[in-house]
Amino acid sequence: RMDQALLMVRSEVPALGLRLAARSAACHQCLYQFLASIPPSNENSDKPGTVSVMVDTQHPLTLLLNSSDSDRDLCKIQFHFGEFGNYSLVVKTLSTSTTTVSCDLVINEGPINSYLPILFAFLVYMGILAVLIAGHLLMKIDPVRNWVYKKLNPRETDRLINSELGSPHTADSVSSDPTPPLWSSASRQRLRSLDTFRGLSLIIMVFVNYGGGKYWFFRHESWNGRVQLRRHPSALFSRFVFIMGTSVSLSLSSMLKWGSSKRKVLGKILWRSFLLILLGIIVVNPNYCLGPLSWDNLRIPGVLQRLGFTYLVVAALELLFTRSGAESGILETPWPALQDILPYWPQWIFILMLEVIWLCLTFLLPVPGCPRGYLGPGGIGDFGNYPNCTGGAAGYIDRLLLGENHIYQHPSSSVIYQTTMPYDPEGILGTINTIFLAFLGLQAGKIILFFKDQHKQIMSRFIVWSTVMGIVSAILTKCSKEEGFIPINKNLWSLSYVTTTSCFAFILLLLLYYLVDVKRVWSGAPFFYPGMNSILVYIGHEVFENYFPFKWKMRDSQSHAEHLTQNLTAMTLWVLISYVLYRKRIFWKI
């Protein structure tokens, strides 16, 4: 199967049974897991004892071989097996004594290169991009453009030629183009980089949610780990939260500027939050696969639920404490370097109080059967000492307040760490840090409003914020995956996870803002289109996930190429759907 290799163990050690165990390099402080018992060789027939096992190929493994009667370690081998490879582990005695043995790993059949489909897909998309760029450049040539318009709309071309205006000029050709201008004055009021940011995160999220070609590195991190593009809501959902905060700042400012009362705006905030939470519970609920929706197995937390509650808190906080003149720079501050922060000190105090609550609950709340401040995955982690402590205080609070049947039943830690306790990555305690991340996005929006059209100031502030968040992350994690004060953990939505993702989010927003809104060398396409219809694309891809043409029966379910083709096709279809909706001026807003 995918992510597996065949290992045949051949023991030529007489009168000694062996036990084979393995431990994954991705499993921190884990116990060795039993794989197989190898019978002793037959001295009379010289027939070795053999057994075949499947081994994992996602991460390097440490194989431990010991005698079955005395648990004495005979040999230890570290090796990274290749997918669909065929290997043999030959165990021999070095002398007539069986006290010393040798273990040799032999490659019977080499693994396949499972990354070739990714390379092929990359070349295909690059080819499509090259064709589109070449077409765009050719359309700038007057004869080519006029010929294309004549072929596409011959009647209009004949009318222009036969009219008193004479032959069509460039202006005439452009005006006959049904495509709206890329940089019209109306669209200039809306920052395309924000929609591009949102759409980029959303489309990668769709690809990963649909399976990511069944490649292990597109899946969730088992527990602690780096922030990378491949993680489903790790770098993707978190960036969605970040840009939501940025949009809140800009949209509230616009509504209040156009004369909407705070009471009316608050009503919109409450209604939108309610709809997001409702859609998350009723429409996008993964427990549908267990049968008809019922309270017995209804998952209460979720992505849209967390988005809805986070939006409610951040938007209400901004509406409650907003001050006229702060965004335009009219208010004077004693420290110019903090002029985009000090006017919003009530909001910052509230956010810092929330973080104090998170720290106290995480590290001081007593959890039955678990050490105080435990942040581990439980299961076989931490040498199996705390198997039922998955998530520490975060998991305990969810199981206590929501019930075990109403949270996520198959956390990512169950694969490597073999956890048995349900744990929800969108649980209650982690929502506090989601609010913090959205507030950092809100701060980005305030920078854009405060330094309106001052591109250098905006970009320099983004760099400063990214640097500060990066330094905080380095301190919290000690630049280590496992040994920091607060490790980066998407499942817990740890404080270091928020500071790290916001560090990269500020950088990404800076790049997109520079390319799309400052230099205008890129329109943001094709990511701009799903960014304009993000709620529709997200809910649509969840609801129609198992329907054709987004999914079909495969010839070989163990083929990365087939899975990758299916997932990329589904992702591309949602981009095309969002493009058609954009051209039709259909936008689903909540």
**Burial class of residue 266 in the structure, from the number of CB atoms within 10 Å of its CB (0-12 exposed, 13-18 middle, 19+ buried):** middle
- Give the ranges where 183-237 is alpha helix by DSSP (H): 185-188, 192-209
Q: How far is CA 475 from CA 288, 372, 469, 479, in A?
A: 42, 22, 10, 7
Nearest residue to 149 (alpha-carbon basis) of 137, 160, 133 = 160
Q: Rounded CA gap, 66 and 73, in Å? A: 4
SS3 524: coil
CA atoms within 13 Å, Cβ hemisphere of 354: 22
Q: Is the peptide bond before 526 cis (omega within 30 degrees of 0)?
A: yes
* H helix or E strand, kind and range, residue 11: strand 4-11
| Residues in Cβ contact with 275 at an 8 Å cutoff, skipping those fewer than 6 apart | 308, 590
SS3 14: strand
Nearest residue to 93 (alpha-carbon basis) of 16, 190, 169 = 16
- Angle, alpha carbons 552-558-560 (nearest 5°): 80
Paired strand residues for 11 = 49, 91
Q: Rounded CA gap, 208 and 229, in Å? A: 10
Contact of 71 with 45, CB cutoff 8 Å: no
Paired strand residues for 10 = 50, 90
Of the residues 28, 59, 80, 220, which is catalytic? 220
Pairing of strands 101-109, 18-24: unpaired
SS3 114: coil
Q: DSSP secondary-structure letter at 145?
A: H
Q: How far is CA 586 from CA 15, 525, 577, 582, in A?
A: 76, 17, 11, 6
Nearest residue to 424 (alpha-carbon basis) of 492, 374, 369 = 492
SS3 143: helix
Annotated catalytic residue 220? yes
In the sheet that holds 4-11, the strands lie side by side as 49-56, 4-11, 86-93, 101-109
Nearest residue to 61 (alpha-carbon basis) of 101, 20, 19 = 20
- Give the ranges where 141-184 is alpha helix by DSSP (H): 142-152, 154-162, 170-175
Nearest residue to 133 (alpha-carbon basis) of 519, 517, 525, 583 = 525
Q: Rounded CA gap, 53 and 61, in Å? A: 14
Q: Rounded CA gap, 554 and 551, in Å? A: 9
SS3 332: coil
What residues act catalytically? Answer: 220
